[in-house]
Amino acid sequence: MHEPRQKRLIMWLLAPSLVFVAVMGAFPVLSQFVLSFTEFNMKFADERGFVGLSNYMRLAGDSIFRQDLWQTFLFTVVSVGLELVLGLAVAMLLNRVRRGRTALNTAIILPWALPTVVAATMWSLIFNDRVGLVNSILGQLGAIQSPIVWLGPGLAMITCILADVWKTTPFVAIILLAGLKSVPDQYYEAAELDGAGRWQVFRYVTLPLLKPFIAVALLFRTMDAFRVFDVIWVLTGGASRTETLSIYIYKVLFRYSDMGYGSAMTVALFAIVFLLSLVLIRFMRISQEPVSE
Amino acid sequence: MSLNSRARTTGLWILRVGVAVVCLLPFYWLANVSLSTPSAVYKIPVDYFPDPAVTDNFRSVFETRQFPQNIWNSFVVASLTTLLTLGLGAPAAYALARLRVRHKEFVMAVFLGIAIFPAIGMVGPLYVAMARLGLINSYPALVLPYTLTSLPLAVWILTHYFGTLPGSLEDAALVDGCSPGEAFLRIILPVSTPGLFTAAALIFIFAWNEFLFALIMTSTPASRTVPVALALFAGLHELPWGTIAAATLVSIVPVLILVAVFQRQIVEGLTAGTQK
Amino acid sequence: MKRPRTATGLGTALMLGSLTLALVTTSGCSQDDSITRIVFAAGQDPSGATATLIEEYNASHPGVEVSFQVMPANTDTQHDAYVTYLSARETSIDIYSMDVIWTAEFARAGWIVPLPEGFIDPDAFLPGPMESVTWRGTRYAVPWFTDAGLLYYRTDLLAEAGLAVPETWDELTAACEAVTPEGGAGFVWQGARYEGLICNFLEFLWGRGGSLDAEHLASSPEAATAEIRETIVFIRSLIETDVSPASVLTYKEEDSRRIFTEGQAPFLRNWPYVWSFAEGEGSKIEGFTGIAPLPHAEGETSYSTIGGWNIALSAYSEHPDEALEFIEFITGERALKQRAIEGGYLPTRIATYADDDVLAANPHYANFFEVFRHTKSRPRSPHYPQLSDVVQDNVHRALSGEIDPETAARAIVTDLTELYAR
């Protein structure tokens, strides 16, 4: 291999995106880091100043932060878990379809295409205790006596998870479907020739080849779920134990205009998610060796 | 086909239809609401089908506002974002997947870091930057931040996708006398259409649906995008469900067309390509 | 080498073509520098009255061009955007519409400027809105339109049962027992965890003689805690005895409104806007809507929470004089009258309530006026958003049974005292 030539090629391939990220991202990201060490409220110009770690100390003692962290964690685990399982099921259901392919694939992608805010507003109407479709159907089927308050204390988190799963399972399904399509037919043929049963084919052929795609889906969905905002904001505003870290950060930054504390929280959230991702990556052992020498 | 097989196929199809129904449920409700009179939306018990069905909502969407312009804006922003992201991300992903990159983990980590960084924190500083550059109300004000946020996902997906391609592809090209760069452009890219389209779909839809940046970076009705325009239908306390539903359905149409036209590429792929 | 398939190729080519077109066509506007441009940012006005007024102003003021930067009507969305703009010292927006609860916050931040001496005649405006534009003795905005909590009731149901309009809570609960329809609810209000909850809660609190004012909390914290606790306990009792449904804790304005206009509840606490729905076409209760002040506890007086919006001048405006001129116009008698007739925006000027045309279009305004004389503001503080969250959190959780009323009351008093002191 021509080493200097390849080095130059690598540079040309990587440079544009890295430069872009550096230019666009540096200022916002760095300013957040810097602000996190200051007392900086947009409204109180006279009280600004460098305060070292005190924002982080405050964060450590903030019971709302702890509670939101737990709620965010709960939401993420259940949501992503459901999405992976359902996404895989949907991807497999759609893999071998010939007739009706366009219709099915389009139907699957549609939930993802709907703006989150609109989808959530629709769900709040559908899950409404008096005029909602769900209670209406359940009532007519005789399954319930009095209306279920889906967005009230107790059930709110479940409803939020359902709305999120509806919207983002397509994302997982698409990625996994692309993965399924990349499995060459001859692998399946070979397995069948060897007399492997359906489950064995799935376990020993499909799953391993799908691993990198599952990994990408898992990684990005976890990162996104941990930072969930729109769905919960529209459905409950964070009430009834559904408030997540993003909602709290939003409040501190835009409502209280407390840039110092808000930046510290942003940095903290970033750190938590980053660590989580590293753990996931390690766990899935994603790093792939380059294919060509 | 044996009986067992037939039962299985039917069962699978029932499941498939079930999935489609679940996916389309809110759309059915949107359609129902968009064709209903304002008072019908809140009837107790609910009307499963609009009775009477009216088209007033659709008319008001097209008459009163700049909604068609907003749809166009969303389309342009989403398309430009997709092109820019892929243009920057695909080469990077190729290098990371197929070539020996030193500090590969570091580069992947940088991209990951950008993806993780909460966008909420970036709105303020980015607004200041865009305002200084005089870019408010222009397409770049949205395209650039969206690209920044989409780049990591694109790079990760494409890195994995390129990684699954057989190593023999480049070798064949190199034997023919192509430079590695040419091999990328002429052999790898065309074969990677499924991966590219998958990434494109995800980027496009993300840009299409984004609200907060769109709200802050645009101030005139003519420059708003769809999510913000939808938010503008609401009154102080009232939510004109009918109009919002009608507007939503109208704005879905371009996305629907794109999805339907490109869904084969997004989902299917050129299976032959992987077997060369 | 593979050629792109026809459909994909065509599709892609079309997209690229249209995008090139989009990039090439510039949205350049020719700037005529002799005209002063003023930008007025305010929430959406679906009636079009505001837009018409602005056109009128522009026509009669050559040399000035006012443009209406329409924002989503939602108050939080506007707050987000305005805070971002003002923090960036945006000069392109001269005039901001402001929710009544933002005055202290924006004034303290230096984002809006005090009105010139004598710019408005305070006696011409309703006292509630005047209070809401004042911070530490200085006036920072002009009241534009107002809102206040009302008790809506069913005239037919009460007449049938031979009951008078309830004035005390005891009377209301008794009435509920008598006239609530089968499977319906008694008294619905807004109990979801959002800003509206504070409006409702304060009305309950004030009606029992309590208050969240800084002076009150500072001088008698124990008494204040007891008042808050008792109010929470009282509201809980409404839910426990089924006077209000448990789901009221998820209701915002529209949720509660529709239950009333569908005839499923005889009593509703809500804002004036409900009137046009209740008496409009499609309403199941047309002709049977009554309005009254909210109930109070025995021996106390009832107060309604003030809502509404004011208009303020940006500290970063480059044309303050012209902007102030426009503000004078848009808050003048004529403009308020137009907005009242066409858009149903309640005027803040007392004289407008006596105007024949306004009353002809909205005869029920006479009833509203009575309520508007007994209104109070939510706590005024530069830290209002945090204050609001503290109250919302604690009240909602106590009402949901997550924490007990005593804990909630103590937390409110402690946290609010601390916020007031900052």
Give the pLDDT of residue A8: 79
Rounded distance, CA C102 to CA C79, Å?
9
Confidence of residue B268 (pLDDT cuts 50, 70, 90): low
The chain A residue lying nearest B193, using CA atoms, is: A178
> Is B49 found in the same domain as B68?
no
- Checking if the pLDDT of C75 tops 70, the result is yes
Residue B212, pLDDT above cutoff 60:
yes
Q: Which of C80, C396, C401 sits opposite A254 (nearest CB)?
A: C80
Model confidence, pTM? 0.84
- Whether residues A277 and A155 share a domain: the answer is no
Q: What is the number of domains present in chain A?
A: 2
**Residue A197 structure tokens:** 């049963």
**Average pLDDT score, chain C:** 88
Looking at residue C28, what is its pLDDT?
Answer: 40
Based on the domain organization, do C108 and C48 belong to the same domain?
yes
Q: Is the pLDDT of residue B64 over 80?
A: no
pLDDT at C329: 95
Q: Is C208 on the interface with A (CB under 8 A)?
A: no
**Ranges of chain A with pLDDT below 50:** 1, 286-293
Average pLDDT over residues B31-58: 78
- Residues C222, C207 within the same domain: yes
Asked if residue A72 and residue A216 are part of one domain, the reply reads yes
Q: C85 to chain B nearest CA, in Å? A: 8
Final residue of a domain: which of B33, B54, B75?
A: B54
Which CATH number belongs to the domain containing residue C103 in this structure?
Answer: 3.40.190.10
A168 touches chain B (CB under 8 A): no
Of C143-157, C218-232, C244-258, where does mean pLDDT reach its minimum? C244-258
Domain shared by A110 and A251, yes or no? no
For residues A167 and A235, what is the distance between their CA atoms, to the nearest angstrom? Answer: 14
- Kindly state whether residues B148 and B36 are assigned to the same domain: no
3-state DSSP assignment of residue A32:
helix
**pLDDT: is A134 or C406 the higher one?**
C406
Q: Which residue of A has its CA nearest to C395?
A: A239
Number of domains in chain C: 2
Q: CB B139 to CB C22 under 8 A?
A: yes
- CA Rg value for chain C: 25
Q: What percent of chain C has pLDDT over 90?
A: 67
Percent of chain A residues topping a pLDDT of 90:
18
Task: State whether B26 and A136 contact (CB < 8 Å).
Answer: no
Q: Could you tell me if C164 and C289 lie in one domain? A: yes
pLDDT at C13 over 60: no
Searching chain C, which residue's CA lies closest to the CA of residue B266?
Answer: C8
Residues B153, B105, single domain; the answer is yes
Residue C12 lies in a domain: no
pLDDT score, position B67:
86
Q: Is residue A20 part of a domain?
A: no
| Judgement on whether residues C283 and C176 belong to the same structural domain of the protein | yes
- C128 found inside a domain: yes
**Does residue A261 share a domain with residue A117?**
no
ipTM of the complex, rounded to two decimals: 0.80
Chain C (64-123) residues lying within 8 Å, Cβ to Cβ, of chain B: 69-74, 77, 80-81, 84-85, 87-88, 90, 92-93
Q: Is the same domain home to B15 and B100?
A: no
- Domain of residue A213 covers 68-241
| HSE value, Cβ hemisphere, 13 Å, CA-based, for A204 | 13
How many Cβ pairs within 8 Å bridge chains A and C? 70
Q: Is C1 on the interface with B (CB under 8 A)?
A: yes
Is there a domain that residue C31 lies in?
no
Q: What is the pLDDT of residue C19?
A: 59
Preferred mutation among A7, A11, A12, A13 to probe B, highest tally of B CBs within 10 A = A13
Q: Which residues contact C23 (CB under 8 A, 6 or more apart)?
A: B80, B139
The verdict on C111 and C40 lying in the same domain is yes
State the Cα–Cα distance between residues C64 and C52, nearest whole angstrom. Answer: 16
pLDDT at C11: 54
Residues B134 and B270 in one domain: yes
Using the Cβ of C22 and the Cβ atoms of chain B, whether some distance falls under 8 Å is answered with yes
For residues C320 and C405, state if they share a domain: no
CATH number, position A215:
1.10.3720.10
Could you tell me if B183 and B265 lie in one domain?
yes
- C95 lies in some domain: yes
Q: Is residue A281 part of a domain?
A: yes
Q: Which amino acid is at A51?
A: V
Is A19 part of a structural domain of the chain? no
Mean pLDDT of chain B: 81
CA–CA separation, A130 and A132 (whole Å): 6
Is residue A207 situated within a structural domain? Answer: yes
Domain that holds residue B144: 63-275
- pLDDT-derived band at C16 (thresholds 50, 70, 90) equals low
- Nearest by CB: C385 against A44, A130, A255: A255
Domain limits for position C333:
36-147+307-372
How far from C268 is each of A117, A247, C19, CA to CA, in Å?
28, 31, 53
C150 near C156, Cβ under 8 Å? no
Nearest to B155 by CA among B215, B114, B212, B210: B114
Count of domains forming chain B: 2
Percent helix, strand and coil across chain B, each to the nearest 5: 80, 0, 20
Place of tokens 């807004």: C190
**Chain C within 8 Å of A27 (Cβ-Cβ)?**
no
C212 shares its domain with C231: yes
The pLDDT score that the predictor gives to residue B1 is: 55
B121 and B156, same domain (yes or no): yes
Q: Does A10 touch chain B (CB under 8 A)?
A: yes
- Name the least confident of B256-265, C201-210, C231-240, C262-271: B256-265
Same domain, C286 and C390: yes
Domain final position from A205, A226, A241: A241
- Residue C246 belongs to a domain: yes
pLDDT for A164? 93
Q: Please check whether residues B50 and B118 belong to one and the same domain.
A: no
The per-residue pLDDT for B135 is 85
What is the reported pLDDT for A105?
A: 80
